[in-house]
Amino acid sequence: MEQTPVKKQRILSGIQPTGTPTLGNYIGAMRNWKLLEDEYDCLYMIADLHTITVRQEPAKLRAQSMQLLALLLAIGLDPEKNVLFFQSHVPQHAQMSWVLNCFTYMGEMSRMTQFKDKSAKHADNINCGLFTYPVLMASDILLYQANLVPVGQDQTQHLEICRDIAARVNGLYGNVFTIPEGYYSKVGTRVRSLQDPKRKMSKSDPEDCFISILDTPDAIRRKYRRAVTDSEAEIRYDPENKPGVSNLLSILSALTAEPIDALTASMAGKGYGDLKSTVAEATVETLAPIQARFAQYMNDKAYLESVYRRGAEQAGRLAERTLQKCMKKIGFVAR
């Protein structure tokens, strides 16, 4: 007897095309995306609209957007199973964002940590987009009625506000949006800077602070060699007192799938130099095949174009359905 197929849960996530993704982006988010493609109905978006909250150089933004698409394919995301698209190709994101802006309070936005951080960093350009960024992100998620959103820990606050906005609209107009849940991996949801391990690894920091997915083996080894540790000599996991060493252990654990306890046991009596070279080799080994595939995809512009065109069509259809539903409930005359 034929069984009715169970409807898969929907996943949406995104990444900004600013610079090359870091090992933090990879461990905290991207590689989990690949693990989800069979079990869920997945959409992964290159969040290009989000990037202009900070000034971008046009040619660079365009090039980095295409590179990011090639990288998503290079980490193994299958465009037959996942919808891969550029956010700016689906205008419903901007439309939904206007609507949701009107259901979001100034006070909520001013409490966002990222707004406070970024407005301190770019004091000469505190634009309205930077302020309402979480509303655009909420629109990204709610347009697709996503059940789950796989992200790193730094996005928790944005996800919370998205849930609040969705619940608020549902409370006023009935069942408009699915309330999404965050989806976090067990290890590596917050990979830290190699130079300042109290902070997250971020591509907007100086070069030595992060490993980029496209770094050469030499650069990777050099950056780990220079990574900040502490003045003890014991390899022990203690994020509070030994953030540098603990960060290296978490990265190693994420890359090798070995639990941290097992790693510290196997490294007992060894020095920080050994730990650094072990993490470096694990990183090189993980990234080498990705880099090779990346180079191949970058040589096939026609294929990349076919992927993003189809992605925009598929995403657009889903997004339009939710946008129409939401606008109708609010009281706009149907077109």
In whole angstroms, the minimum distance from the beta carbon of 82 to ligand TYM comes to 14
Specify the DSSP element, H or E, that contains 151.
none
In whole angstroms, the minimum distance from the beta carbon of 13 to ligand TYM comes to 4
Active site annotation includes 60: no
Q: Which is nearer to ligand TYM, 36 or 141 (CB)?
A: 141
Measured CA to CA, the distance from residue 248 to residue 263 in angstroms comes to: 11
Q: Which is nearer to ligand TYM, 48 or 263 (CB)?
A: 48
Return the half-sphere exposure (C-beta side, CA atoms, 13 A cut-off) of residue 153. 12
Residues that bind ligand TYM (CB under 6 A): 12-16, 24-25, 28-29, 47, 50, 137, 140-141, 149, 151-152, 154-155, 189-191, 200-201
Q: Which is nearer to ligand TYM, 24 or 79 (CB)?
A: 24
Per DSSP, the chain holds a count of helices (H) and strands (E) of 14, 5
In whole angstroms, the minimum distance from the beta carbon of 21 to ligand TYM comes to 7
Q: Which is nearer to ligand TYM, 86 or 294 (CB)?
A: 86
Chain-centroid distance of CA 110 in Å reads 22
Active site annotation includes 118: yes
Q: Give yes or no for a contact between 17 and 64, defined as CB atoms under 8 angstroms apart.
A: yes
Active site annotation includes 200: yes
DSSP state of 31: H
In whole angstroms, the minimum distance from the beta carbon of 28 to ligand TYM comes to 2
* Region class of 64: left (phi > 0), else alpha (psi between -120 and 50), else beta: alpha
Catalytic residue among 34, 203, 325, 329: 203
Q: Which is nearer to ligand TYM, 15 or 109 (CB)?
A: 15
DSSP state of 154: G
The amino acid present at 119, given as its one-letter code, is S
Q: Give yes or no for a contact between 46 and 26, defined as CB atoms under 8 angstroms apart.
A: no
Q: Which of 184, 203, 179, 185 is nearest to 193 (CA)?
A: 203
Catalytic residue among 7, 121, 200, 276: 200
Catalytic residue among 118, 223, 242, 276: 118
In whole angstroms, the minimum distance from the beta carbon of 242 to ligand TYM comes to 18
Q: Which of 273, 260, 10 is nearest to 146 (CA)?
A: 10
- Position with the least CB separation from ligand TYM: 28
Measured CA to CA, the distance from residue 232 to residue 230 in angstroms comes to: 6
* Catalytic center residues: 118, 200, 203
